[in-house]
Structure 1
Amino acid sequence: MAQQDRAIRTRRVILEAAAAIFDDRGYDRATIAEVLERAGVTKGALYFHFASKEQLALAVLDEHVLDIIVEPQPVKLQEFVDAGQILAHRLRSDPIQRGAARLLVEQGSKHLHRKQSMLTWTQFVEALLNEARDRGEVLESVDVRATAELFVGAFAGVQILSHALTDRADLCHRLTVFFEHTLPSIAPPAILARLKLDPERGEKLDAALQEKTLLQV
Structure 2
Amino acid sequence: MSRPTQERAVRTRELILKAAAEEFDEKGYAGASITKIVDRAGVTAGALYFHFQSKQGLASAVMNAQSGAIEPLIGSEGLQRLVDITLVWARQLQVDPVLRAGVRLAVEQGSFGLQDASSYQGWRTIMGECLHEAARKGELRPEADPDRVAAFVVGACTGVQLYAQLLNGRKDLTERTVHMWELLLPGIAVPDVADRIELDGERGKRHDDGGVADGGTGG
TM beyond 0.5: yes
Match of 2:67 in 1: 65
Match of 1:215 in 2: none
- Cα deviation, 1:187-211, whole Å, max 9, x if unaligned, reads 011101221101111111454348x
Q: Secondary structure at the match of 2:201?
A: coil
Query: Which of 6, 10, 13 is residue 11 of structure 1 equivalent to?
Result: 13
Alignment partners' CA distance in 2, 1:206 and 1:132? 27
Which runs of 5 or more structure 1 residues have no equivalent in the other structure?
211-217
Match of 1:154 in 2: 156
Please show how residues 78-93 of structure 1 align to structure 2 within 5 Å.
78-93=80-95
Cα displacement (A) at 1:30:
2.0
8 A contact 2:24–2:32 mirrored in 1: yes
Q: What amino acid maps onto 1:153 in structure 2? A: G
Q: What amino acid maps onto 1:116 in structure 2? A: S
8 A contact 1:87–1:202 mirrored in 2: yes
Cα displacement (A) at 1:59:
0.9
TM-score for the superposition, normalised by structure 2: 0.88
Q: Secondary structure at the match of 1:106?
A: helix
- Cα deviation, 1:24-72, whole Å, max 9, x if unaligned, reads 2222332312211222211111111111011111111221123322544
Match of 2:107 in 1: 105
Alignment partners' CA distance in 2, 1:92 and 1:135? 33
Match of 1:170 in 2: 172
Alignment partners' CA distance in 1, 2:166 and 2:205? 21
Alignment partners' CA distance in 2, 1:123 and 1:207? 28
Structure 2 vs 1, CA of residues 206 and 139 (structure 1 numbering), >3 Å: closer, same or farther?
Answer: farther
Structure 2 vs 1, CA of residues 123 and 12 (structure 1 numbering), >3 Å: closer, same or farther?
Answer: same
Query: Which of 41, 48, 51 is residue 49 of structure 1 equivalent to?
Result: 51
Q: What amino acid maps onto 2:173 in structure 1? A: L
Alignment partners' CA distance in 2, 1:59 and 1:110? 14
Alignment partners' CA distance in 1, 2:207 and 2:42? 31
Please show how residues 115-154 of structure 1 align to structure 2 within 5 Å.
115-154=117-156
8 A contact 1:78–1:195 mirrored in 2: yes
Q: What amino acid maps onto 2:163 in structure 1? A: L
Structure 2 vs 1, CA of residues 209 and 113 (structure 1 numbering), >3 Å: closer, same or farther?
Answer: farther
8 A contact 1:172–1:199 mirrored in 2: yes
After alignment, is 113-122 or 133-142 more displaced?
113-122
8 A contact 1:122–1:152 mirrored in 2: yes
Q: What amino acid maps onto 1:158 in structure 2? A: V
Cα displacement (A) at 1:106:
1.9
Q: What amino acid maps onto 1:48 in structure 2? A: F
Alignment partners' CA distance in 1, 2:109 and 2:68? 24
Alignment partners' CA distance in 1, 2:19 and 2:65? 13
Alignment partners' CA distance in 2, 1:133 and 1:121? 18
Which runs of 5 or more structure 2 residues have no equivalent in the other structure?
213-219
Question: Does 1:200 pair with 2:202?
Answer: yes
Query: Percent identity, aligned pairs only?
Result: 41
8 A contact 2:109–2:115 mirrored in 1: no
RMSD: 1.8
After alignment, is 19-28 or 63-72 more displaced?
63-72
Cα displacement (A) at 1:163:
1.6
After alignment, is 155-164 or 28-37 more displaced?
28-37
Cα displacement (A) at 1:107:
5.8
8 A contact 2:30–2:112 mirrored in 1: no
8 A contact 1:27–1:108 mirrored in 2: no
